[in-house]
Amino acid sequence: MAVNVETLDKLERKLTLELPLEAIQKEVDTRLKRLQRQVRMDGFRPGKVPLSVVAQRYGYSVQYEVINDQVGRAFADAVAQAQLRVAGQPRISEKEGAPEGVLAFEAVFEVFPEVQLGDLSALELEKLEASVDDAAIDRTLEILRKQRRTFTPRPEGEPAQDGDRVTIDFEGKIDGEPFEGGKASDFSFVIGEGQMLPEFENAVRGMKAGESKTFPLAFPEDYQGREVAGKTADFLVTVKKIEQQQLPEVDEAFIKSLGIEAGTLEALRDDIRRNLEREVKFRLLARNKTAALDALAKAAQLDLPKAAIEAEIDRLIEGARQDLRQRGLKDADKAPIPRELFQQQAERRVRLGLVVAELIKANDLRATAEQVDAHLRELASSYEQPEEVVRWYRANPERMAEIEAIVLENNVADFIFGKAKVTPKAITFAELMGQD
């Protein structure tokens, strides 16, 4: 059968599907007879319900099912014959004016675009480099100490300072009126660790236990509490308790508590260095890969199928709802989430997916079993029982597919860097970790 495909837009196509009524009715009769052997009705023995009764009750739904099946099959056959790659679901509607004895339908759909890859040798890329220095190890060691710190009361009369845990009562008002979330009792936070807005910390720093103070606080324009964003509140704060932190000594007991059996500072620092170097490697890989893929996508020429973008937005919204559910938000499924919030992200993902797929196809890039195994074992090496982690991944095909996808992306990035004009760029450990 000849397939006539009409071009409506850059990627939009339309074709007409014709189904002989005789073939539809024949399939309906076959299914009704099959149903007759199974259906149960009052007044009839099982399997003995007259076909006319079965048809009267189930005929419409069976006919609807048959037409849907045959339209779907006809559409699949037509696009296969026309060698079209369909993006998203087709919009199918019945067409009026069909010849006698025929049901006709119009299918409007999008196809995936032709992708023209840019000249990779013309790409100019910076490749980030970073290393683990002694300062990074020192900083990590301090973090480990803070994670195991204790607090003791600060001597009476001494003011609160950075690193102290203060317990306070506070109440804020805007134009003399209280606001939601602006009042708390026995609230504790550590000064200097960014738990509170800087103006709030500055006001409490230097106060003594038992003191009260009133001070203004201007909420940032982008403050998470939209009702108070950009407004100035007057806060009354009372310091009830001040505790100074006690950091543990880096002695043998402390080191062994971290799982370092040797119990020496040298062994601890070596272990920290290995872990940081592994983290640096993965972070550099991720940032360089993003830069390479973005450059690849930007250099390519293609039209984006709207259906694929809409499907991607649906996935992103569902991911957002899943996150809200995990955070304990009630009625997360009903929360209003504007689709436009995800428009740019969806377009980027669709564009990148199409371009990367074309590059892989054009250059026969793939993730080898050896590469997948090496990446999995390196990933597992940061855990206490690496072999258990490896077995956990291998027990689930979806988890292994995720590992394979990461390796494939790494291969793509390596291929791009191998073709592009690359300039090394050194950054500090702190910049890489987002600590600046």
Query: Over the stretch 156-195, which tens digit does the pLDDT of each residue have?
Result: 999 999 999 999 999 999 999 999 889 999 999 999 999 9
Domain with residues 4-111, CATH architecture: 2-Layer Sandwich (3.30)
How far, in Å, CA of 234 to CA of 157, rounded? 26
In whole angstroms, what is the distance from residue 260 CA to residue 424 CA? Answer: 36
Residue type, position 64, single letter:
Y
Instruction: Please give the pLDDT value at position 303.
Output: 94
State how far the Cα of 117 lies from the Cα of 328, in Å rounded to an integer: 44
How many Cα atoms occupy the beta-carbon half-sphere of 47 within 13 Å? 1
pLDDT digits (tens, 9 = 90+) for 103-130: 889 999 999 999 999 899 999 999 999 9
Amino acid type, 38: Q
Q: How many CB atoms lie within 10 A of CB 33?
A: 12
- The average pLDDT across 138-160 equals 95
Is residue 98 pLDDT above 70, yes or no? yes
- Selected residue with higher pLDDT from 395 and 335: 395
Q: How far apart are the first and last CA of the chain?
A: 66
Q: Are 312 and 346 in contact (CB under 8 A)?
A: yes
Residue 178 pairs with which residues in a beta bridge? Answer: 173
Residue 436 confidence class, pLDDT cut points 50, 70, 90: low
User: Could you read off the pLDDT of 280-317 as tens digits, one per residue?
Assistant: 999 999 999 999 999 999 999 999 999 999 999 999 99
CB 151 within 8 A of CB 188: no
Instruction: Find the mean pLDDT for residues 324-336.
Output: 81
pLDDT in the model for residue 38: 82
Q: What is the mean pLDDT of the chain?
A: 91
pTM of the complete model beyond 0.85: no
Kindly tell me if the per-residue pLDDT of 2 is higher than 60.
no
Nearest to 211 by CA among 189, 170, 240: 240
Q: What is the mean pLDDT of residues 352-372?
A: 92
Cα–Cα distance between 130 and 428 in angstroms, integer? 6
Selected residue with higher pLDDT from 244 and 46? 244
d(CA 161, CA 242): 9
One of 2.40.100.10, 1.10.3120.10, 2.40.160.20, 1.10.10.60 is the CATH number of 261-433, namely: 1.10.3120.10
DSSP class of residue 341 equals G
- The CATH T-level fold of domain 150-246 is Chitinase A; domain 3 (3.10.50)
Q: Are strands 102-111 and 12-20 parallel, antiparallel or unpaired?
A: antiparallel
Contact between 254 and 262 under an 8 Å Cβ cutoff? The reply is no
Of 276 and 223, which is predicted with more confidence? 276
Strand, coil or helix: what is 172?
strand
Rounded-to-10 torsion of CA 366, 370, 373, 376: -60
Enter the tokens of residue 54. Answer: 């079965």
Helix (H) or strand (E) holding 101: none
Which pLDDT tens digit goes with each residue over 49-71?
Answer: 888 888 888 888 989 999 999 99
> How long is the chain?
436
- pLDDT for 131 equals 94
> DSSP assignment of 208-275, as one string?
-TT-EEEEEEEPPTT-SSTTTTT-EEEEEEEEEEEEEEEPPP-SHHHHHHTT-TT--HHHHHHHHHHH
Q: Where are the domains of the chain?
A: 4-111, 150-246, 261-433
Is residue 324 classed as helix, strand or coil in its secondary structure?
Answer: helix
pLDDT per position as a tens digit, 371-391: 999 999 988 988 889 999 999
